[in-house]
């Protein structure tokens, strides 16, 4: 019953979010701030995680596919496709659900419990639109760039394994990452990540916006935002993959 109520309230909130802003200039003032806060500020963690995962994936794939029947370049191919299809879009989004989701939920939740949202409402401002729309749109715009950077940096991580160890040669790795490349996978990955960006910011905003009480409820909103957006991402990962990759 709670789930149905929450879904209903979520859509009612979204109906208030996706309307024309009261003042366009206020939206365009908030929008670049959110690009910076949610997108650019996430870049360091995306780069760090991607480079290490790219390297580890290359090492593990090479070690587990040491077989005379398999060509050595298979390691590069597997690393590339794993990064493209799953890691840089889905797993990275799960990580960002933790970072961005908790940030959004706690920011809006704190504004709710300190009556800042009530103050906006009493001024006659559509607070849902003013606070949530710039966050959702900014993160949806930034997400494809984060995914492309994650893929690129992950591939560099794999290359570094070739440079610093004798597990694989750089030449073999480079052949592997170029072999049988399907450009459609990039579109698939980007479309998926844009959907996940919407889920992360809108779900986190919903929990923050509905926080009640004191500091404890902000913490609870933040936890709920991360847990529930992660579950929804995993569910939609199956739906989108089924729609876009299966014949």
Q: Which of 115, 169, 213, 234 binds another protein (CB under 8 A)?
A: 115
Residues 227, 233, 237, CA angle at the centre, nearest 5°?
150
Q: Which of 11, 121, 171, 216 binds another protein (CB under 8 A)?
A: 121
* Ramachandran category for residue 85: left, alpha or beta (phi over 0 → left; psi -120 to 50 → alpha): alpha
Minimum CB distance to another protein smaller for 82 or for 127: 127
- Give the chain's count of helices (H) and strands (E): 11, 0
Minimum CB distance to another protein smaller for 23 or for 212: 23
119 interacts with another protein by CB under 8 A = yes
Check residue 202 and report its DSSP letter: H
C-alpha to C-alpha distance for 124 and 186, rounded to whole angstroms: 44
CB of 88 to another protein, least distance (A): 31
Q: Which of 7, 12, 40, 114 binds another protein (CB under 8 A)?
A: 114
25 interacts with another protein by CB under 8 A = yes
36 interacts with another protein by CB under 8 A = no
Of 91, 107, 209, whose CA–CA distance to 151 is shortest? 91
Binding footprint of another protein on the chain (CB under 8 A): 22-23, 25-26, 111, 114-116, 118-119, 121-126
């Amino acid at each position: 019953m709670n789930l149905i109520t929450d879904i209903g309230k979520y859509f009612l909130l979204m109906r208030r979010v996706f309307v024309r802003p009261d003042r366009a200039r206020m939206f365009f003032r908030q929008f670049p701030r959110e690009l910076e806060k949610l997108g650019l500020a996430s870049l360091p963690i995306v780069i760090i995680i991607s480079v290490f995962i790219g390297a580890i994936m290359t090492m593990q794939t090479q070690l587990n596919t040491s077989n005379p029947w398999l060509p050595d370049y298979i390691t590069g191919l597997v690393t590339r496709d794993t990064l493209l299809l799953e890691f840089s879009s889905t797993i990275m989004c799960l990580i960002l659900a933790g970072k961005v989701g908790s940030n959004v939920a706690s920011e809006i939740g704190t504004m709710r419990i300190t009556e800042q949202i009530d103050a906006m409402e009493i001024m006659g401002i559509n607070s849902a639109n003013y606070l949530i729309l710039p966050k959702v749109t900014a993160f949806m715009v930034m997400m494809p760039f984060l995914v492309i950077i994650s893929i690129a940096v992950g591939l560099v991580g794999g290359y570094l394994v070739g440079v610093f160890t004798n597990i694989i040669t750089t030449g073999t790795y480079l052949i592997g990452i170029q072999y049988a490349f399907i450009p459609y996978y990039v579109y698939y990955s980007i479309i998926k990540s844009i959907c996940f960006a919407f889920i992360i910011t809108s779900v986190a905003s919903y929990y923050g916006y509905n926080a009640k009480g004191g500091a404890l409820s902000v913490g609870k909103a933040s936890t709920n935002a991360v847990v529930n957006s992660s579950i929804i991402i995993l569910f939609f990962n199956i739906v989108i993959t089924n729609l876009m990759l299966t014949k």
